[in-house]
């Protein structure tokens, strides 16, 4: 095999292994906090030209304690970097089946169960985001 073909083959194999690792889903976590709505400048300039930028609204969980404190297991967030476990605000992604419950719970304490991930775009505003699988109102913190 020619050296350039061998290098290309090795690179493609490496990329497949990295992509396979990245595709491994993280386990779900459970966090509790107060559900809030945040408003931010969005496209086209994300606040550099406020008069022409759209306002985006996002749902957040304002935490009474960091994720690491609530989970009691820093391993659950270790792959996401140190800031993910130290934040007090988590942006949440709510799907249609949970949207009604989320809307009713704004300003109240909730418990969410979901898959954590790191910011991927300019629309992601916190070092930790959660793709919500379940959301329910609570009266007291359970951790």
pLDDT by residue for the chain (143 residues), tens digit each? 554 444 444 434 344 443 444 456 788 999 999 999 999 898 998 889 899 999 999 999 999 999 999 998 667 788 899 999 999 999 999 999 889 999 999 999 999 999 999 998 878 899 999 999 999 999 999 87
> Which domains, ranges and CATH numbers included, belong to the chain?
28-137 (2.40.50)
The pLDDT, as a whole number, for residue 127 is 95
- Strands 29-41, 55-62: pairing is antiparallel
For residue 24, the model assigns a pLDDT of: 63
Residues 6+ apart with CB under 8 A from 46: 40, 53, 122
CB atoms within 10 A of CB 130: 23
pTM over 0.85: no
Compute the Cα dihedral for 32, 35, 38, 42 and give only its sign: positive
User: What's the residue count for the chain?
Assistant: 143
Q: What is the pLDDT of residue 47?
A: 87
Within 13 Å of residue 28, how many CA atoms lie on the same side as its CB?
10
d(CA 126, CA 140): 25
CA 80 vs. chain centroid, Å, equals 10
Tokens of 117: 């991930």
């Amino acid at each position: 095999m020619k050296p350039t073909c061998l290098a290309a083959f090795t690179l493609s194999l490496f990329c497949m292994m990295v992509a396979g690792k990245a595709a491994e889903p993280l386990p779900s976590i459970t966090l509790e906090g107060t559900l809030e709505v945040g408003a931010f400048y969005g496209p086209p300039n994300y606040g550099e030209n406020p008069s022409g930028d759209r306002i985006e609204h996002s749902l957040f969980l304002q935490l009474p304690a960091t994720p690491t404190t609530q989970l009691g297991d820093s391993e659950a967030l270790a792959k996401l970097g140190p800031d993910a476990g130290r934040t007090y605000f988590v942006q949440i992604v709510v799907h249609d089946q949970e949207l009604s419950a989320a809307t009713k719970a704004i300003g109240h304490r909730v418990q969410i169960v979901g898959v954590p991930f790191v910011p991927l775009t300019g629309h992601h505003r916190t070092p930790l985001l959660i793709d919500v699988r379940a959301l329910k109102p609570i009266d007291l913190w359970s951790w």
